[in-house]
């Protein structure tokens, strides 16, 4: 089982930005990588995925505000989050080892990822 390690969370005011990063110590990035989030009392929500050639896919709720990227040479996955809103407040998880067919489906079906990290908290205040 791969254990990704997330970093970069924090607290910001609405309209601010944060950049999350994810590493997979001892492993390379998998073919399909993703981010999902979960707020207290809510279901897991897909945020974004990126395939091995760098094609991203986003949940409607973050399109135009978030950008996922990967550095295969450094084995780092990033999530740039701009124009943050209070409803973006959640624990954000890096996900790897996609078990679906099409990577882009992971943006709406985060349960298709087999492994995830412990998460990093993002809190956006109004």
Give 47-76 pLDDT, tens digit per residue: 999 999 999 999 999 999 999 999 999 999
Dihedral angle computed from the Cα positions of residues 71, 93, 51 and 61, in that order, rounded to the nearest 10 degrees: -120
Give 106-119 pLDDT, tens digit per residue: 888 999 999 999 99
Q: Using 50, 70 and 90 to split pLDDT, how confident is the model at 95?
A: very high
d(CA 121, CA 38): 10
pLDDT at 43: 95
Average pLDDT over residues 82-97: 97
Dihedral angle computed from the Cα positions of residues 23, 15, 39 and 122, in that order, rounded to the nearest 10 degrees: 40
């Amino acid at each position: 089982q791969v254990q990704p390690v997330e970093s970069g969370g924090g607290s910001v005011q609405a309209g601010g930005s944060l950049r999350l990063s994810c590493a997979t110590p001892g492993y390379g990035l998998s073919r399909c990588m993703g981010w999902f989030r979960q707020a207290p009392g809510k279901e897991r929500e897909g945020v974004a995925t990126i395939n091995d050639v760098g094609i991203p896919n986003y949940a409607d709720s973050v399109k135009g505000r978030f950008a996922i990227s990967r550095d295969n040479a450094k084995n780092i996955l990033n999530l740039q989050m701009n124009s943050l809103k209070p409803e973006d407040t959640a624990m954000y998880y890096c996900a790897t080892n996609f078990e679906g067919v099409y990577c882009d489906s992971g943006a709406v079906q985060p349960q298709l990822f087999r492994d995830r990290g412990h998460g990093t908290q993002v809190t956006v205040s109004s």
